[in-house]
Amino acid sequence: MLRTQNKRLCFVAITLVQFLSWQTLAAQDDGHGGHSGGGYIDLATLGMSGGSDHTGHSGLVGGRTAITSEAVHAYNALRDFVGLDPSTMDEIGGWAFANGLTNNSQAWGNDQMGVGMWYAMQGAKVGWMADNTFDPQIVADIERTARLGSPKEVMAMVYQYGHKGFADYLIKSQSQMVFINTLKMEPHYAGWMHDRCHGMLSIEDVAIAHDVNHLTVLSHDQMDPFMNDTWDWPQWPALEVSHARVLEYFQSMVVLGDPLGDHLGNLGEPPNPDDPADPPGEPGDGPYIAGDISVEVSGDLWWDGFTATIAVHNESNSNLSGWYFRFISSHQISGAPWGCEVETTSLGNGFYEHRVSGADWGAGIQAGGTMYVGFNGNQGNPLGNSGLLDGPKLFDGGWIGE
């Protein structure tokens, strides 16, 4: 889908404005939730209620996390992917109030912003899924994987079940951890789901909006979707709603359209789940390509650390200099690399972007030749105290290439 440069600039500009407004709101913390990391604010900062179970930090178990405005970042990444301008929490909240998706007909205090944050989270959690592969069980599976598994496992599911190209978009825009962090959020947190976002809109004459919102609420063991606020039994009316209508309802949150209408349609077939090849950018077994080079990883694991040996192949018919590649990893590079330089940027949430470039004797590679460079590192996500290092272990946050 083509997008104009103006939309890109608008996305950046509105994101900056929202970041500054979040910073201001964070300074107004009322003691309920506080300021979260990365410049995002906790939903509880805008108000806190005990209208259902699991609304406080005691309910954040099994990898569940608080709802923060990071969800709006993930939401606007999805809007950008489908060619829409970014939206603000106020705009999203205004849409929810106008469409009967709230308890009261008019907002007061911080209601509109908080409701906007909450529905941004819901849209980002579900709206990425392709129409022809959608199943409520996948929602439970990917939320559970985000909370208890690895980023690689989450991204593999996005490739399999998401709109065509969305996984690659997340990697190229460096939004995959924002997306994964949003999947971790517990919908009941801070009480907004029941006390602010309890919409009475009828859906297929068998349920109301609030029932369908329970799609993202999981059982205690996180195996089942559409669970009640106790995590003990299903939200029964929602189970009577057709899968197509459930998905269109969540897609309406993304496009800010009629909650009972049809919106995104099918943006493309996802890759064949039986295809043994790793999708581009997925941190699988490779090949890892960056321009004229391909990269292979070997090495050894040791106590809380590793030694990486990187084979950099010149795939072109010309001598090469100035090569580099980038990847995201939970692991940090330590000491002085050999044959290369490593520039590291912290992405927050325990992940780093590393840019590896040729240096000294490793700067040039003959046509068709191979150069071996390397570095030591400290383990982020545990890899064990012995054994071999490979690409999936080193690139556990995603391969970027160039």
> Residue 331 belongs to a domain with what CATH number?
2.60.40.290
Residue 280 belongs to some domain of the structure: no
pLDDT at 151: 84
Give SS3 for 114.
helix
pTM reported for the whole predicted model: 0.63
Residue 12 maps to a domain: yes
pLDDT at 304: 86
User: Is 301 found in the same domain as 184?
Assistant: no
DSSP state of 1: -
| Local structure of residue 30 (DSSP, 8 states) | -
Strand, coil or helix: 238 = helix
Is residue 264 included in any domain, yes or no?
no
Q: Are residues 292 and 226 in the same domain?
A: no
In a domain, 300, yes or no: yes
Same domain, 344 and 212: no
Specify if 270 maps to a domain: no
Task: Give the pLDDT score at 216.
Answer: 97
Structure tokens at 42: 């906790």
Residue 80 host element (H or E): helix 70-81
**Tokens 């990898």 found at:** 63
- Check residue 265 and give its pLDDT: 65
**pLDDT, block means (10 residues), the chain with 402 residues:** 38 43 36 48 88 77 94 95 93 96 90 96 96 93 94 86 87 86 95 92 96 96 93 94 95 94 62 40 61 89 89 89 92 92 89 93 88 92 88 89 72
Which pLDDT does position 17 carry in this prediction?
40
In a domain, 261, yes or no: no
CA dihedral for 249, 255, 258, 262, sign (positive or negative): negative
Q: 127 with 250, same domain?
A: yes
Which DSSP string corresponds to 184-215? HB-TTGGGHHHHT-----EETTTEEHHHHHGG
Q: What is the DSSP string of 143-178?
A: HHHHHHS-HHHHHHHHHHHBPTTHHHHHHHTT-HHH
Residues 235 and 334 in one domain: no
Domain boundary among 213, 230, 255: 255
Q: What are the percentages of helix, strand and coil residues in the chain, rounded to 5?
A: 40, 20, 40
Structural domain ending residue among the three candidates 255, 276, 298: 255
Residues 234 and 296 in one domain: no
> Are 251 and 294 in a shared domain?
no
Residue pair 197/118 in contact by the 8 Å Cβ criterion:
yes
* Residue 209 belongs to domain spanning: 5-255
Query: Does any domain span residue 268?
Result: no
In a domain, 263, yes or no: no
- Tell me which of 255, 275, 305 is where a domain ends: 255
Query: Based on the domain organization, do 234 and 299 belong to the same domain?
Result: no
Backbone torsions φ then ψ of 130, nearest 5 degrees: -70, 145
Say yes or no: 309 and 353 in one domain: yes
Number of domains in the chain: 2
Other beta carbons less than 10 A from residue 137's beta carbon: 12
Domain identity same for 26 and 143 = yes
Per-residue confidence (pLDDT) for residue 31, from 0 to 100: 31
CA gap 198, 228 in Å, rounded: 13
Residues 51, 154 within the same domain: yes
Q: Are residues 204 and 302 in the same domain?
A: no
